[in-house]
Protein backbone atom coordinates (compact mmCIF):
# COMPACT_ATOMS: atom_id res chain seq x y z
CA UNK A 1 0.00 0.00 0.00
CA UNK A 2 1.43 3.31 -0.98
CA UNK A 3 0.07 6.41 0.57
CA UNK A 4 0.20 9.37 -1.72
CA UNK A 5 -0.23 12.68 -0.01
CA UNK A 6 -2.82 14.58 -1.98
CA UNK A 7 -2.52 17.51 0.29
CA UNK A 8 -6.03 16.76 1.47
CA UNK A 9 -5.80 16.59 5.26
CA UNK A 10 -8.82 14.35 5.71
CA UNK A 11 -7.39 11.74 3.39
CA UNK A 12 -3.73 11.83 4.32
CA UNK A 13 -2.51 8.25 4.52
CA UNK A 14 -5.30 6.82 2.38
CA UNK A 15 -3.84 5.30 -0.79
CA UNK A 16 -4.99 6.68 -4.10
CA UNK A 17 -5.28 5.20 -7.54
CA UNK A 18 -4.73 6.54 -11.03
CA UNK A 19 -7.36 4.21 -12.40
CA UNK A 20 -10.35 6.08 -13.63
CA UNK A 21 -13.40 5.39 -11.50
CA UNK A 22 -17.04 5.94 -12.24
CA UNK A 23 -20.18 5.86 -10.12
CA UNK A 24 -20.78 2.36 -11.45
CA UNK A 25 -17.61 1.12 -9.75
CA UNK A 26 -19.16 1.99 -6.43
CA UNK A 27 -22.40 0.10 -6.97
CA UNK A 28 -22.46 -3.30 -5.32
CA UNK A 29 -24.24 -6.33 -6.76
CA UNK A 30 -26.97 -6.11 -4.15
CA UNK A 31 -30.47 -5.01 -5.10
CA UNK A 32 -31.35 -1.72 -3.41
CA UNK A 33 -34.40 -2.25 -1.25
CA UNK A 34 -35.60 1.08 0.01
CA UNK A 35 -39.22 2.10 -0.57
CA UNK A 36 -39.96 3.73 -3.92
CA UNK A 37 -39.40 7.46 -3.66
CA UNK A 38 -37.19 7.23 -0.58
CA UNK A 39 -34.70 10.06 -0.22
CA UNK A 40 -32.03 7.48 0.54
CA UNK A 41 -31.79 6.65 -3.17
CA UNK A 42 -30.73 10.17 -4.01
CA UNK A 43 -28.13 10.24 -1.28
CA UNK A 44 -26.76 6.87 -2.41
CA UNK A 45 -26.52 8.04 -6.00
CA UNK A 46 -24.89 11.28 -4.96
CA UNK A 47 -22.33 9.41 -2.91
CA UNK A 48 -21.60 6.96 -5.71
CA UNK A 49 -21.14 9.82 -8.15
CA UNK A 50 -19.03 11.83 -5.74
CA UNK A 51 -16.55 9.20 -4.51
CA UNK A 52 -14.73 8.66 -7.83
CA UNK A 53 -13.63 12.30 -7.70
CA UNK A 54 -11.59 11.58 -4.58
CA UNK A 55 -9.44 9.10 -6.51
CA UNK A 56 -9.04 6.76 -3.57
CA UNK A 57 -8.49 3.05 -3.80
CA UNK A 58 -11.94 1.58 -3.38
CA UNK A 59 -10.71 -1.08 -0.99
CA UNK A 60 -9.56 1.63 1.39
CA UNK A 61 -13.03 3.06 1.83
CA UNK A 62 -15.29 1.67 4.54
CA UNK A 63 -18.88 2.43 5.36
CA UNK A 64 -20.09 1.55 8.85
CA UNK A 65 -23.75 1.91 9.72
CA UNK A 66 -26.05 1.26 12.64
CA UNK A 67 -29.67 0.18 12.37
CA UNK A 68 -32.53 1.79 10.51
CA UNK A 69 -33.49 2.30 6.89
CA UNK A 70 -30.46 4.42 6.06
CA UNK A 71 -28.15 1.90 7.70
CA UNK A 72 -28.67 -0.47 4.79
CA UNK A 73 -26.45 1.92 2.86
CA UNK A 74 -23.19 -0.10 3.12
CA UNK A 75 -24.72 -3.10 1.36
CA UNK A 76 -25.13 -1.01 -1.76
CA UNK A 77 -21.60 0.35 -1.85
CA UNK A 78 -18.90 -1.69 -3.55
CA UNK A 79 -16.43 -0.87 -0.81
CA UNK A 80 -15.82 -2.52 2.53
CA UNK A 81 -18.76 -2.14 4.87
CA UNK A 82 -20.32 -3.15 8.14
CA UNK A 83 -24.00 -2.94 8.96
CA UNK A 84 -23.62 -3.01 12.72
CA UNK A 85 -26.04 -2.61 15.61
CA UNK A 86 -28.35 0.15 16.70
CA UNK A 87 -26.56 3.36 17.57
CA UNK A 88 -23.07 1.88 17.81
CA UNK A 89 -21.61 2.68 14.41
CA UNK A 90 -19.56 5.67 15.66
CA UNK A 91 -17.92 3.45 18.29
CA UNK A 92 -17.12 0.67 15.85
CA UNK A 93 -15.86 3.15 13.29
CA UNK A 94 -13.69 4.75 15.97
CA UNK A 95 -11.98 1.41 16.59
CA UNK A 96 -11.43 0.99 12.88
CA UNK A 97 -10.10 4.51 12.41
CA UNK A 98 -7.77 4.17 15.38
CA UNK A 99 -6.40 0.88 14.06
CA UNK A 100 -6.15 1.90 10.40
CA UNK A 101 -4.87 5.30 9.28
CA UNK A 102 -4.99 4.11 5.67
CA UNK A 103 -8.78 3.97 5.52
CA UNK A 104 -11.39 6.55 4.66
CA UNK A 105 -14.11 5.71 7.16
CA UNK A 106 -17.72 6.84 6.75
CA UNK A 107 -20.57 6.36 9.18
CA UNK A 108 -24.11 6.20 7.90
CA UNK A 109 -26.79 6.77 10.48
CA UNK A 110 -30.27 8.16 10.97
CA UNK A 111 -32.02 10.45 13.41
CA UNK A 112 -33.09 7.58 15.66
CA UNK A 113 -29.81 5.69 15.36
CA UNK A 114 -27.53 8.67 15.93
CA UNK A 115 -29.55 10.88 18.24
CA UNK A 116 -31.63 8.48 20.31
CA UNK A 117 -30.06 5.09 20.99
CA UNK A 118 -26.62 6.20 19.86
CA UNK A 119 -26.62 9.76 21.17
CA UNK A 120 -23.82 9.10 23.60
CA UNK A 121 -21.45 7.68 20.99
CA UNK A 122 -22.21 10.53 18.62
CA UNK A 123 -21.34 13.34 21.00
CA UNK A 124 -18.24 11.61 22.31
CA UNK A 125 -16.97 10.82 18.82
CA UNK A 126 -17.41 14.46 17.87
CA UNK A 127 -15.80 15.61 21.12
CA UNK A 128 -12.76 13.37 20.49
CA UNK A 129 -12.58 14.44 16.88
CA UNK A 130 -12.02 11.01 15.41
CA UNK A 131 -11.29 11.16 11.69
CA UNK A 132 -14.73 9.89 10.61
CA UNK A 133 -17.33 11.29 8.26
CA UNK A 134 -20.79 10.86 9.76
CA UNK A 135 -23.78 11.13 7.45
CA UNK A 136 -26.90 11.65 9.52
CA UNK A 137 -29.98 10.96 7.43
CA UNK A 138 -32.68 12.95 9.17
CA UNK A 139 -36.23 12.08 8.10
CA UNK A 140 -37.71 13.01 11.47
CA UNK A 141 -39.39 9.65 11.87
CA UNK A 142 -38.69 5.99 12.67
CA UNK A 143 -39.09 4.25 9.35
CA UNK A 144 -37.84 0.71 9.83
CA UNK A 145 -40.04 0.15 12.89
CA UNK A 146 -42.92 1.62 10.90
CA UNK A 147 -43.65 5.11 11.94
CA UNK A 148 -42.98 6.12 15.53
CA UNK A 149 -41.80 9.65 16.31
CA UNK A 150 -38.05 10.26 16.45
CA UNK A 151 -35.84 12.63 18.46
CA UNK A 152 -36.12 15.12 15.62
CA UNK A 153 -39.90 14.92 15.20
CA UNK A 154 -41.79 18.08 16.01
CA UNK A 155 -43.66 18.44 19.30
CA UNK A 156 -47.26 17.29 19.00
CA UNK A 157 -46.50 14.86 16.20
CA UNK A 158 -49.19 12.24 15.94
CA UNK A 159 -47.72 8.82 15.24
CA UNK A 160 -48.55 5.21 16.05
CA UNK A 161 -46.84 5.57 19.41
CA UNK A 162 -48.16 9.08 20.09
CA UNK A 163 -51.85 9.10 19.18
CA UNK A 164 -52.34 12.23 21.28
CA UNK A 165 -49.24 13.90 19.93
CA UNK A 166 -45.59 13.65 20.89
CA UNK A 167 -44.53 15.43 24.06
CA UNK A 168 -40.83 15.26 23.22
CA UNK A 169 -38.95 18.40 22.37
CA UNK A 170 -36.80 17.69 19.31
CA UNK A 171 -33.04 17.98 18.93
CA UNK A 172 -31.51 20.37 16.48
CA UNK A 173 -28.75 17.98 15.31
CA UNK A 174 -26.43 20.77 14.17
CA UNK A 175 -26.71 22.59 17.52
CA UNK A 176 -26.11 19.29 19.31
CA UNK A 177 -22.99 18.56 17.28
CA UNK A 178 -21.66 22.08 17.81
CA UNK A 179 -22.39 21.75 21.52
CA UNK A 180 -20.08 18.74 21.47
CA UNK A 181 -17.52 21.00 19.75
CA UNK A 182 -17.54 19.03 16.52
CA UNK A 183 -14.78 20.30 14.29
CA UNK A 184 -16.89 20.04 11.14
CA UNK A 185 -20.65 20.36 10.85
CA UNK A 186 -22.64 20.67 7.65
CA UNK A 187 -26.16 20.28 6.40
CA UNK A 188 -27.69 19.52 3.03
CA UNK A 189 -30.93 18.44 1.44
CA UNK A 190 -31.27 15.02 -0.13
CA UNK A 191 -32.71 16.59 -3.28
CA UNK A 192 -29.93 19.15 -3.69
CA UNK A 193 -27.28 17.07 -5.40
CA UNK A 194 -24.86 19.96 -5.94
CA UNK A 195 -25.22 21.24 -2.38
CA UNK A 196 -24.88 17.76 -0.88
CA UNK A 197 -21.86 16.98 -3.03
CA UNK A 198 -20.20 20.20 -1.97
CA UNK A 199 -20.72 19.48 1.73
CA UNK A 200 -19.59 15.86 1.28
CA UNK A 201 -16.44 16.98 -0.46
CA UNK A 202 -15.56 19.44 2.28
CA UNK A 203 -16.31 16.78 4.89
CA UNK A 204 -14.03 14.29 3.16
CA UNK A 205 -11.26 16.85 2.96
CA UNK A 206 -11.55 17.80 6.61
CA UNK A 207 -9.27 15.96 9.02
CA UNK A 208 -11.37 15.10 12.02
CA UNK A 209 -14.97 14.23 12.74
CA UNK A 210 -17.40 15.61 10.22
CA UNK A 211 -21.10 15.53 10.89
CA UNK A 212 -23.29 16.05 7.85
CA UNK A 213 -26.99 16.27 8.50
CA UNK A 214 -29.00 15.36 5.44
CA UNK A 215 -32.68 16.24 5.39
CA UNK A 216 -34.20 13.17 3.83
CA UNK A 217 -37.76 12.46 2.88
CA UNK A 218 -39.56 9.33 4.08
CA UNK A 219 -42.40 8.91 1.58
CA UNK A 220 -44.16 6.30 3.69
CA UNK A 221 -44.24 7.54 7.25
CA UNK A 222 -43.38 11.23 7.09
CA UNK A 223 -43.93 12.23 3.50
CA UNK A 224 -43.37 15.81 2.63
CA UNK A 225 -41.59 16.71 5.85
CA UNK A 226 -39.23 18.95 3.92
CA UNK A 227 -41.47 19.89 1.01
CA UNK A 228 -41.40 23.58 1.85
CA UNK A 229 -37.68 23.51 1.20
CA UNK A 230 -38.17 21.81 -2.12
CA UNK A 231 -40.65 24.27 -3.53
CA UNK A 232 -38.58 26.69 -5.59
CA UNK A 233 -40.27 29.84 -4.31
CA UNK A 234 -40.46 28.78 -0.70
CA UNK A 235 -36.86 27.61 -0.76
CA UNK A 236 -35.72 31.07 -1.75
CA UNK A 237 -37.24 32.53 1.37
CA UNK A 238 -36.28 29.76 3.72
CA UNK A 239 -32.91 28.27 2.83
CA UNK A 240 -29.88 30.16 4.07
CA UNK A 241 -26.86 28.61 2.41
CA UNK A 242 -23.65 29.68 4.06
CA UNK A 243 -20.19 29.81 2.56
CA UNK A 244 -17.07 30.41 4.62
CA UNK A 245 -15.79 33.95 4.20
CA UNK A 246 -18.86 35.26 2.42
CA UNK A 247 -21.61 37.57 3.65
CA UNK A 248 -24.71 35.58 4.50
CA UNK A 249 -27.41 36.61 2.08
CA UNK A 250 -30.24 34.58 0.59
CA UNK A 251 -33.36 34.95 -1.52
CA UNK A 252 -33.62 35.09 -5.24
CA UNK A 253 -31.81 38.40 -5.43
CA UNK A 254 -30.08 38.24 -2.11
CA UNK A 255 -32.90 40.29 -0.65
CA UNK A 256 -32.54 38.66 2.75
CA UNK A 257 -29.52 38.55 4.99
CA UNK A 258 -28.32 37.56 8.44
CA UNK A 259 -27.43 40.18 11.04
CA UNK A 260 -26.40 40.13 14.67
CA UNK A 261 -29.11 40.46 17.28
CA UNK A 262 -28.35 40.32 20.98
CA UNK A 263 -26.13 37.29 21.54
CA UNK A 264 -27.43 35.62 18.44
CA UNK A 265 -28.34 36.17 14.83
CA UNK A 266 -31.48 37.21 13.06
CA UNK A 267 -32.80 37.36 9.53
CA UNK A 268 -33.31 40.80 8.03
CA UNK A 269 -34.20 42.32 4.69
CA UNK A 270 -31.05 43.41 2.94
CA UNK A 271 -32.73 46.66 2.02
CA UNK A 272 -33.26 47.52 5.68
CA UNK A 273 -29.68 47.11 6.85
CA UNK A 274 -26.31 48.54 6.10
CA UNK A 275 -24.21 46.18 3.99
CA UNK A 276 -21.50 46.25 6.67
CA UNK A 277 -24.00 44.81 9.17
CA UNK A 278 -24.47 41.63 7.15
CA UNK A 279 -22.71 38.82 8.96
CA UNK A 280 -19.77 37.30 7.12
CA UNK A 281 -19.58 33.56 7.72
CA UNK A 282 -16.49 32.38 9.59
CA UNK A 283 -16.57 28.59 9.86
CA UNK A 284 -13.77 28.63 12.41
CA UNK A 285 -15.89 30.63 14.88
CA UNK A 286 -17.75 28.19 17.11
CA UNK A 287 -20.07 30.83 18.57
CA UNK A 288 -21.05 32.10 15.15
CA UNK A 289 -21.62 28.55 13.93
CA UNK A 290 -23.82 27.84 16.90
CA UNK A 291 -25.80 31.04 16.43
CA UNK A 292 -26.30 30.07 12.79
CA UNK A 293 -27.57 26.66 13.85
CA UNK A 294 -30.22 28.42 15.98
CA UNK A 295 -31.59 30.19 12.92
CA UNK A 296 -32.86 26.82 11.70
CA UNK A 297 -36.26 26.25 13.20
CA UNK A 298 -38.14 23.00 13.50
CA UNK A 299 -40.95 24.39 11.34
CA UNK A 300 -38.41 25.17 8.61
CA UNK A 301 -39.25 28.89 8.51
CA UNK A 302 -35.53 29.10 7.95
CA UNK A 303 -33.02 26.36 7.36
CA UNK A 304 -29.31 26.95 7.21
CA UNK A 305 -27.39 24.70 4.82
CA UNK A 306 -23.75 24.39 3.88
CA UNK A 307 -20.81 24.12 6.22
CA UNK A 308 -21.45 25.66 9.64
CA UNK A 309 -18.10 24.89 11.12
CA UNK A 310 -14.75 23.74 9.93
CA UNK A 311 -11.92 24.07 12.42
CA UNK A 312 -8.54 22.50 12.89
CA UNK A 313 -8.13 20.45 15.98
CA UNK A 314 -5.89 17.40 16.60
CA UNK A 315 -7.79 14.26 15.77
CA UNK A 316 -8.08 11.54 18.37
CA UNK A 317 -6.80 8.76 16.14
CA UNK A 318 -3.77 10.78 15.04
CA UNK A 319 -3.05 11.54 18.69
CA UNK A 320 -3.34 7.92 19.73
CA UNK A 321 -1.02 6.82 16.95
CA UNK A 322 1.46 9.51 17.84
CA UNK A 323 1.61 8.25 21.43
CA UNK A 324 2.15 4.68 20.27
CA UNK A 325 4.77 5.85 17.80
CA UNK A 326 6.66 7.79 20.46
CA UNK A 327 6.52 4.86 22.87
CA UNK A 328 7.91 2.55 20.19
CA UNK A 329 10.70 4.96 19.39
CA UNK A 330 11.64 5.31 23.05
CA UNK A 331 11.49 1.69 24.13
CA UNK A 332 12.00 -1.56 22.28
CA UNK A 333 9.24 -4.15 22.53
CA UNK A 334 11.13 -6.69 24.62
CA UNK A 335 8.60 -9.18 25.91
CA UNK A 336 11.06 -11.12 28.04
CA UNK A 337 12.15 -7.97 29.79
CA UNK A 338 8.58 -6.94 30.44
CA UNK A 339 7.66 -10.30 31.93
CA UNK A 340 10.67 -10.23 34.24
CA UNK A 341 9.95 -6.79 35.62
CA UNK A 342 12.14 -5.36 38.34
CA UNK A 343 12.07 -7.90 41.14
CA UNK A 344 12.81 -11.52 40.39
CA UNK A 345 14.36 -14.40 42.26
CA UNK A 346 15.79 -17.59 40.97
CA UNK A 347 15.30 -21.08 42.31
CA UNK A 348 18.19 -23.37 41.45
CA UNK A 349 18.07 -27.15 41.45
Partner 1 sequence: MSTETRKLDRVVIRFAGDSGDGMQLTGDRFTSEAAAFGNDLATQPNFPAEIRAPQGTLPGVSSFQLHFADYDILTPGDRPDVLVAMNPAALKANVGELPDGGILIVNTDEFSKRNLTKVGYDSNPLEDDSLERFQVHKIAMATLTIGALEETGLGKKDAERAKNMFALGLLSWMYHRPTEGTERFLREKFAKKPDIAEANVLAFRAGWNYGETTEAFAVTYEVAPAKLNVGTYRQITGNTATAYGIVAAAQLSKLPVVLGTYPITPASDILHELSKHKNFDITTVQAEDEIAGIGIALGASYGGALGVTSTSGPGIALKSETIGLAVMTELPLLVIDVQRGGPSTGLPTKTEQADLLQAMFGRNGESPVPVVAPRSPSDCFDAVVDACRIALKYRTPVLFLSDGAVANGSEPWLIPDVDSLPDLTVEFATDPENFQPYSRDPETLARPWAVPGTPGLQHRIGGLEKQDVTGNISYDPENHDKMVRLRQAKIDGIEVPDVEVEDPDGNARVLVVGWGSSYGPIGAAARRVRKLGLPVAHAHLRHLNPFPKNLGEVLRSYDKVVVPEMNLGQLALLLRAKYLVDAVSYTKVQGLPFKAEELQDVLADVIKGVSA
**Cβ 195 to partner 1, closest distance in Å?**
28
Whether the Cβ atoms of residue 185 and residue 208 lie closer than 8 Å to each other: no
Q: From the CB of 336, what's the least distance to partner 1, in Å? A: 5
Question: At 98, which helix (H) or strand (E)?
Answer: helix 89-99
Which CB, 11 or 267, lies closer to partner 1?
A: 11
Provide the CA 75 distance to its chain's centre, in angstroms. 19
Q: Which residue, among 106, 164, 166, has the nearest Cα to 132 in the 3D structure?
A: 106
Residue (233 or 343) nearer to partner 1, CB: 343
| 66 versus 195: smaller Cβ distance to partner 1 | 66
Interface residues with partner 1 (CB under 8 A) are 1, 28, 30, 57-60, 62, 64-65, 67, 74-75, 77-86, 88, 90-100, 102-103, 120-121, 124, 320-321, 323-324, 326-328, 330-333, 335-336, 338-341, 343-349
To partner 1, the closest distance from the beta carbon of 297 in angstroms equals 30
Give dist(CA 108, CA 93) in Å, integer. Answer: 10
- 3-state SS assignment for residue 274: coil
Smallest gap from Cβ 213 to partner 1, in A, equals: 21
CB of residue 337 vs partner 1: minimum separation in angstroms? Answer: 10
Q: How far is the CB of 44 from partner 1 (least distance, A)?
A: 14
Using the minimum distance from each CB to partner 1, give the nearer residue, 294 or 313. Answer: 313
Q: How far apart are CA 67 and CA 117, in angstroms?
A: 10
326 φ/ψ sector (left φ>0, alpha ψ -120 to 50, else beta): alpha
- State how far Cα 285 lies from the chain centre: 19
Q: Are 268 and 257 in contact (CB under 8 A)?
A: yes
Given the complex with partner 1, which of 95 and 165 has the nearer CB atom?
Answer: 95
Q: Which is nearer to partner 1, 143 or 186 (CB)?
A: 143
Amino acid sequence: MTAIDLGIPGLTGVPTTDEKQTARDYKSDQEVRWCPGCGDYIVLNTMQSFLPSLGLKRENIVFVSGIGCSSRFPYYMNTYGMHSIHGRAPAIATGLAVARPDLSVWVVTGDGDALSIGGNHLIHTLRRNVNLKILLFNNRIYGLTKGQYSPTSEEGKVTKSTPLGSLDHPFNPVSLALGAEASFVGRALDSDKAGLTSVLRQAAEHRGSALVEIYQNCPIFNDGAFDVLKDADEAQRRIINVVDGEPIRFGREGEYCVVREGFGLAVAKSADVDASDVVVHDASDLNLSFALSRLSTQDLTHTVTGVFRRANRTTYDDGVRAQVGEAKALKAADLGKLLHGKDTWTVVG
